[in-house]
Amino acid sequence: MAEENKKIKILLVDDDRFLLDMYSIKFKSSGFDIETVSGSAEALKKLREGTNPDVVLLDIIMPGMDGLELLKTIREEKLAPASVVIMLTNQPDEMEKAKMLGADGYIVKAVNIPSEVVSKVIEIYKKKNAK
């Protein structure tokens, strides 16, 4: 499994340092190439500079620009157009809004352990790229 994930580059955007570190370790140990940023402004800067990950994982609740606003900006500015954007959050009530803004998937942190998050990311990524 690790072999086929080597090519998958992930940009994880969350303001929680503990979660960034935990998910970073989990994705790296599963063979992914992961980069973490601690907020929307940093994520936008990287994407505008040409960072083009295969998957963007976005938290919703963040200071300043939240994940939904970031998603809207990513789609409006056509940043990383081939990226699969997945909301990774504890806000299940925001699922419809995220879909309307162009999210490709939605994972609720509170009900999924990190290894399940990795599996769901792979599943959403493969489904999106099978189209």
Give 25-47 pLDDT, tens digit per residue: 999 999 999 999 999 999 999 99
CATH number, residue 42? 3.40.50.2300
Q: 34, 27 in Cβ contact below 8 A?
A: yes
Domain region containing 86: 2-129
H/E stretch holding 5: helix 2-5
Question: pTM of this prediction?
Answer: 0.92
Give 78-113 pLDDT, tens digit per residue: 999 999 999 999 988 999 999 999 999 999 999 999
Backbone angles phi, psi at 67, to 5 degrees: -65, -30
Average pLDDT over residues 48-55: 96
Q: How many domains does the chain have?
A: 1
Average pLDDT over residues 56-82: 95
CA 65/CA 6 separation, integer angstroms: 31
Q: 39, 15 in Cβ contact below 8 A?
A: yes
